[in-house]
Amino acid sequence: MARLDIQISREEGDWAEEEALLDEARRVLEFAAGFLAVEEDQPFARQPVEVSLVFTNDAEIRTINAQWRGFDKPTNVLSFPASPIQPGDMPGPMLGDIIIAQETVAREASEQEKPFEAHLTHLLVHGFLHLFGYDHVDEDDAEEMEGLETRILAGLGLSDPYGDTDPV
């Protein structure tokens, strides 16, 4: 069974308290890990895999985005795998880091007319899939990743973030 050791850092932004963030992250990421293990035959080691979550603001994520990706602008989520991995590979003991910017999440949720919590859940899943080597650089990869996101989110009771559909 997929086991996670989730580490949280609430650095900047108007985020909920760490305990609430940890509870929500645990609910979302453990479901996503279980889904990958069962539906995608994603292997997991017996010991828990560590995931680091950083909850920050637009200014901080903009700096990180400029430094590591060459994009001098804020973004909603960044993922940094601890080591190169492809979908289906066994992860090491440290899966990687997911960084999320509160203002961008809030702005996008408002623009998309969805609850902040629903958009945050989507971005947690999105970032988590990146740590397993999923990407959306080309159309085929994007279709695969978005399909996984949609199925995981449906299992969490959320609608397709890429369309106007109800969960399947």
CATH number of the domain enclosing 18: 3.40.390.30
Domain count, the chain: 1
pLDDT higher than 70, residue 166: no
Mean pLDDT in the chain? 93
Q: Residue 149: give the domain boundaries.
A: 4-155
Whether 70 is in a domain gets the answer yes
Report pLDDT digits (tens) over 29-71: 999 999 999 999 999 989 999 999 999 999 999 999 999 999 9
0.85 cut: is pTM over it?
A: yes
Whether 164 is in a domain gets the answer no
- DSSP assignment string, the chain: ---EEEEEEE-SSSPPPHHHHHHHHHHHHHHHHHHHHHHS-----SSPEEEEEEEE-HHHHHHHHHHHHS--S--SEEEEESS---TTSPP-SEEEEEEEEHHHHHHHHHHTT--HHHHHHHHHHHHHHHHTT---SSHHHHHHHHHHHHHHHHHTT---TTSS----
Whether 100 is in a domain gets the answer yes
* Residue among 140, 33, 134 at smallest CA distance from 81: 134
Cβ atoms of residues 49 and 95 within 8 Å: yes
Whether 143 is in a domain gets the answer yes
Whether 94 is in a domain gets the answer yes
Whether 167 is in a domain gets the answer no
Whether 121 is in a domain gets the answer yes
Whether 134 is in a domain gets the answer yes
